[in-house]
Every structure is written in structure tokens, then in C-alpha cells.
Structure 1
Amino acid sequence: MNYFSSGFKLGIVGGGQLGKMLLYETRKFDIHTIVLDPSDDAPCKIACNEFYQGDLMDFDTVYEFGKKADVVTIEIENVNVDALEKLEDEGIKVFPSPKTLRTIQNKATQKLFYKDNEIPAADFTRFAYTSEIESAISNKTLEFPFVWKSARFGYDGQGVKVVKSYADLDVLPNVECIAEEMVPFKNELAVIVARNPEGSIAVYPVVEMEFHPEANQVEYVICPARINPEIAEEAQKIALKVSESINHVGLLAVEMFQTQNDTILVNEVAPRPHNSGHYSIEASYTNQFEQHLRAILNLPLGNTQSKVAGIMVNLVGAEGYNGPVIYKHIEDIMKMDGVTPHIYGKKETRPFRKMGHVTIVNENMAEARKIAQDVKETIKVISK
């Protein structure tokens, strides 16, 4: 099929920042894009060929949208899988497949998948409702502390809580969830794997993630991870096993823990471009968004190696600010060598909302990390 400067249409379900960055690449290749998103102010709206506003969880909306496309992909997991399944049954290519999405959408199902496929992960207990957890603690089948995770609709640190006491349980929503064993880890790592329909695979270097302690959001992504080569090799090996087991097409971001005794445990996965791969826009030979396109269109996969060390700093809304966004001191960070800001196009900021990111590239990792710290301390995402 001719994808370039042709009548081919790529449908993207979700119009947020991941979709916007994917559109950088579709515009580069002159691939016609249609986007569906619930918000009329979606970041994708300015860059796609056709924009449709609608509920991503509504069957008819997603189904009717998908019929306009030749290939459908996603930039968010919370979509109506039944509609994608029907589209696939009718001959429209959907990547990742609805089957893959069904496994990943629900964290309890995802964790059971790891267990069934002998993929190392933390022990967990599944609950139909949060209210059942108290009985499990009383019966001594569960003990504090543990990590509570909503089975559905968690994102950007939402739907995850470290539970240390009964008081912590009181503020949680009464939904399907899992209680996960606390893992004593030294590093949080991630590996992105690309796979096309023919089964060709490409794997990116292991990255290291530093998280904000309160918001449970990534503050820094560091590539390559500052770990021993043997640990990096093991992390990539496990990521490839997850990829093979789930048989995805497109990108699969595999988040992992490196425990105190250097065991690698899978935390969770995302079947799409991912925050842990943003560094690749400036630092890699083939960035993750171009790679996702290559994979879902069954084109040759690109070189995943890095040209230089890359660090990403997330730009999130500062605490205490709600309203029209201002990027304070952005000119100051743009004076720094190797610094590139990416603004997502969200007009309103609120505390910890992802508003953009900054990439720092440098031939020296220590210098890149120092500049990243300067960036973090300089730029502020506030409101009028």
C-alpha cells in the first residue's frame, strides 16, 4: 500500500500530546491523518488533516470514526475495545490489536498475564472492590504497607496509592483494584520494544526513571540508564519476552523495577509511544514516534541506538496554580546548550498536569544530568 502523499488514511484514537508528537512524523512523511478526541482543544487538532470530537469510550463514536480510516492506532489505552474489535473483524487494521488492549487495559488482567507467562512481577491480590481490602487485612491475608492500584483508568500517577494504614484506605474510590506487594527497589527502568506485523523487532536502550515522590510522576528520564551492562541486558531480555508473549504490533513500553538484589520485575506496560521514550526525539537515530509509524504500517524498523546521552525533564503544572498557562523563564533554559523544550498545547494548567517536556542532549552523561537539574530548577509552569 502507498502511504505517502496518497489517499491512505491513518486514524488515531486520542488527541493528546502523544498524538501531537506522532503527527510530527506523519507530516514529515505526508501521511493523511484523522484524529478522534473528546476535547475541542485537543493538542492534535492543529496538526491533523481531519479532527473529530467524541467520547473514546462510546462504541458508536469509535466505530464510526474507525470506518473512515485504513489503519487505526491509539495514543491512550482508555478506548472502547468492542468497537475496535468490530472494526478489525470488518477488515480494518487496528494496532495494537483489541486483544492486546484488553489484556493491558485492566491492571488485574495484566498482572495475571504476567503470572501465566512466567514474567517476573511483584506479588498481588485482586479485589472486585476496594472495600474488600479491610477484610483481607483482618484475616491476615494482606498486610500493610502495600501499593493500591485501580484496575481501570489510571494514568500519570492517578489510580496509584501507597497504603500504610486504614486511614489511607478511607480516601480511596471503591472500585475494582489490586493490592501489590511493596518492592524494595534501587531503580525504576523502562525498555521500549517495537514490533511490526511481520514480526520484525527493534529494542531501545534501557532508560532510568526518577519519580516525583508525591505525584508519582516521572520527573527525569535518563538514557542510557546508569546501570551495569548485565542488568541492562537482563532488562531488555525480559522486555522482549513480554513483547513476544503479548504479540503486540507498534510500540510496547515496559516499565520495570531493579530490586536491591538486582532482580528485574515488570511493573506495567503501555502499548503506544510513552513518556519514557520522549528523549528519543533529539537523542536517537529513530525517535519512538517515527518507529511507531514504521511498525504499524509494516515498514522497515529504524535504528534504535542513541546518538548522544539524552535526559528528559517533564514540565508539569506547579502546585498552587490553576488557569491559563505561562512558561516562566523558558527563555533562560533555551540559552542552555543542548536544551530543547516541547510544549504540548494545553492552554490551562493545574497542579502536576503534564504540560510539556524538555530534552537535554550531551556527549557527557554527567554534564547532561547537571543541565537537566538546572532546567528543572529554572523553568516554572504557572498561570496568570
Structure 2
Amino acid sequence: MTNNSNNYFSSDFKLGILGGGQLGKMLLYETRKFDIHTKVLEASKEAPCRIACDEFVLGSLMDFDAVYNFGKQVDVLTIEIENINLDALEKLEEEGIKVYPPTKALRTIQNKATQKLFYTDNNVPTADFSRFAYASEIEDAIENGGLELPFVWKAAQFGYDGQGVKVVRSIDDLKELPVGECIAEKMIPFKHELAVIVVRSVSGEVVTYPVVEMEFHPEANQVEYVICPARIDKIVAQKATEIALKVSEEIGHVGILAVEMFQTQEDEILVNEVAPRPHNSGHYSIEASYTNQFEQHIRAILDLPLGKTDSKVAGIMVNLVGADGYTGEVVYENIAEIMAMDGVTPHIYGKKQTRPFRKMGHVTIVDEDIDEARRVAQKVKETIKVISK
């Protein structure tokens, strides 16, 4: 543990954040609480982070010079999105800038094919998969019997929020796929999708949050509900936590690592994928936990003692995504109605324009009783609509 003479609070210390979206905005709630000076790099001047940081810099996260020059102006650099120019991060690390999570961990995670190979190399249970340099090779693999339908297609890079993932049930489904590097993953008939958030500090202190359960939207491939605690057997929860800890240790991240998993019909745990940053599956923690995931990420990357991860109450998170058929200036219809319900807190991300399935916010529902929270969550989901003017 470093001694806390490292004065981060009300000082000249500068924390750099690569990415200006809602995850960055929620990180900034915590840096403002602690009075830590922040500087954000983001390509869009409309980004949710622009109002909450001390300094806002316009620039592309994929541009070497933009990332390198930005990194030279801060003391510690962190991310809120994985799609970043890693060569610039590597050069900054070589020159003594602290980058968390380390570039080595990001290289493993940024490309989904590399990430999957990492699991097989490290004996981490994961669904069987094939790797393709070009999507056009998939059809040959099906015809030669090397690949069976249905399967899950994933772009190797730059997928997010259900983009870059598609269930392929027939040859026709291959037509719309982007051409580049990808993986074809065996479809797992799972009981539950679970996630465990692991937090690791610079000096190696590690804590985990309770296992959460995710209910997905069948078409959009986006999470509809995150339920904490997961409604699963204790033995399954323990197994999920142990596997998440193994992944965290092998990857060697610093900060938050969200490990998404499948619980199979036989109660095996298979790792689906990971995210090395605050994550949708941890948003419930703002209202429900002793220490929320964003504060925890800041503590970890600054090597401060990690906080308590237990929940104070049961928490359910509902994503607010743009309604199908609406594009333009956003309107949150019936928001007062949901705020009239007990234990309901909306979070609005600050994106002025809505489009179908765009993540616009989330709502947390807390209650002593998980079943009651789930019932209210359903009501919230049915009541609020994200539409346009």
C-alpha cells in the first residue's frame, strides 16, 4: 500500500480519462466528491462528460498523437471505453505515465479473438469457438462441416452494446455481416447470464461484488435488467466468483474488470467476455452498495484502500434505451410516474439525440425484497418511454 502522502485531493494531481460517455460521467460524480482534478479526451463535443470534468479535450481516441499528447499532460490515465490507440498508451507507459488498466491487459481484451484464445491458453472455461480472418470464410466452414448452425457471430473488434454480435441461424444471416476478422461461437443453452465485478488495486488488493444476473432483450441483444443478488444457488455463485478471480489474476488488470458468464443447464460456468472498466452490470451499485463501482475504480487506480462491496439492499437496474421508431431530440415520457414509485431513481446520461436502442440512461430500483424490486422494475420498464419530439 502506498502511503497516502500521494495527495490526490484538492491538489495539482491530474487524472486523465480516455472517453467522454456516460461511464466517464458517472466516474466524474466520484472525482468531484473527492475533489480530484480531471481531464477528459473525447471526439464528440456533445459528450456526457463535457460538463462534469475540469478540462475537456476534443480528439479521437484511435489517433496516436491525440492520445499520446493528452497522456503527457496527466499523472494517471484511465479509460471508460476499450477502443483506444494502444500504441500511444504503450509509449506513455514506457515514458513513466501510469496507465490503468495496463496496456498489456487491454491488448488481450480489445480483440475478441485474442480474448477467447487467452481463455483457452489459461484453462478458463469458455464456449467453443472458431476464429476467422474474414467473414467470407464462414460459409466454407459451414459447408465443409467444420461449423454448425446456429452459432453466435462476433466482430473481433469495436463491438459494443449489442453491436458486433449476431445469432446466425441460416446461411442467409451471413449476408449482412461485416467483412473483417471475427469469431463464430457455439450457442450455449444457458440457464442464466451472470456477471461478477472484480476490483484490483495497483498494489494488488482484490475485492469482488456479489454475482448479478442479467436478463436480455431477445432482439436487441442488450441487457434489460440487472438483478443483484443473482437468484442462483450459493455453490453456483461461489464458482462464478472463483472463475472471475482467476480471469482477473491472469489478465493482470488494475481497476474494475466485469466478467460476463453463462450458467449452463448443468450448472457449469463459462466465461463469455470481459470489460476492463466500470460496466452496465454494476450500475445498480450507485444506489444499492456500500461502495459503488465508480468510486471503487478510482480507489483502485489511485492505490487507495478498496471499499466494502456488499449491498445494503437488493438492487435492480433497467436500461433506458431509445424506443424503436424514434430518432431525434429526446423526450422521457412518463418519467414523473416512475419517480412516484418507491425506491426508483432515474439516471439520465445527457445524450440530447435518441435513436432506436441507443443507451440513454438507466433506472435503479431498490427494495429490501428482491421480488418486490423485480415487480417494480417491470412496471418501470412498461411505463417510461424514450421517444423523440
Q: TM-score range by the shorter chain?
A: over 0.9
* Alignment partner of 2:197 out of 186, 192, 196: 192
Aligned to 1:181: 186
Aligned to 2:333: 328
Structure 1, residues 153-198: CA drift from partner, whole Å, max 9, x if none? 0000000001011100011011100000011101000000000111
Structure 1, residues 193-251: CA drift from partner, whole Å, max 9, x if none? 00011110000000000000000000000000000001000000000000011111000
Counterpart check, 1:282 vs 2:287: yes
Counterpart check, 1:9 vs 2:19: no
Equivalent position amino acid for 2:109 in 1: I
Aligned-residue sequence identity (percent) comes to: 77
Structure 1, residues 349-369: CA drift from partner, whole Å, max 9, x if none? 000000000000000111000
* Alignment partner of 2:50 out of 22, 45, 48: 45
Aligned to 2:3: none
State how 1:143-162 maps to structure 2 within 5 Å.
143-162=148-167
Cα drift, residue 5 of structure 1: 0.2
Whole-Å separation in 2 of the counterparts to 1:198 and 1:223 = 28
Equivalent position amino acid for 2:15 in 1: L
Aligned to 1:106: 111
Counterpart check, 1:34 vs 2:44: no
Whole-Å separation in 2 of the counterparts to 1:90 and 1:53 = 23
Aligned to 1:359: 364
State how 1:181-330 maps to structure 2 within 5 Å.
181-330=186-335
Whole-Å separation in 2 of the counterparts to 1:197 and 1:297 = 7
* Alignment partner of 1:73 out of 74, 78, 102: 78
Whole-Å separation in 1 of the counterparts to 2:148 and 2:334 = 46
* Secondary structure at 2:356 match in 1: coil
Equivalent position amino acid for 2:194 in 1: L
Gaps of 5+ in 2: 1-5
Whole-Å separation in 1 of the counterparts to 2:383 and 2:191 = 28
Whole-Å separation in 1 of the counterparts to 2:142 and 2:350 = 45
Gaps of 5+ in 1: none
Structure 1, residues 57-105: CA drift from partner, whole Å, max 9, x if none? 0000000011110000000000000000001100000000110000000
Structure 1, residues 322-363: CA drift from partner, whole Å, max 9, x if none? 000000000000000000000000000000000000000000
Aligned to 1:164: 169
Whole-Å separation in 2 of the counterparts to 1:19 and 1:257 = 28
Whole-Å separation in 2 of the counterparts to 1:157 and 1:290 = 26
TM-score by length of structure 2 reads 0.98
Aligned residues: 384
Cα drift, residue 139 of structure 1: 1.1
* Alignment partner of 2:377 out of 372, 375, 381: 372
Counterpart check, 1:125 vs 2:130: yes
Aligned to 1:338: 343
Cα drift, residue 55 of structure 1: 0.6
Whole-Å separation in 2 of the counterparts to 1:112 and 1:251 = 21
Whole-Å separation in 2 of the counterparts to 1:356 and 1:52 = 24
Whole-Å separation in 1 of the counterparts to 2:10 and 2:44 = 28
* Secondary structure at 1:232 match in 2: helix
Structure 1, residues 253-305: CA drift from partner, whole Å, max 9, x if none? 00000001100000000000000000000000000000000000000000000
* Alignment partner of 1:85 out of 76, 87, 90: 90
TM-score by length of structure 1 reads 1.00
Equivalent position amino acid for 2:139 in 1: E
* Secondary structure at 1:130 match in 2: coil
* Secondary structure at 2:136 match in 1: helix
* Secondary structure at 1:103 match in 2: helix
Cα drift, residue 143 of structure 1: 1.3
Whole-Å separation in 1 of the counterparts to 2:149 and 2:364 = 38
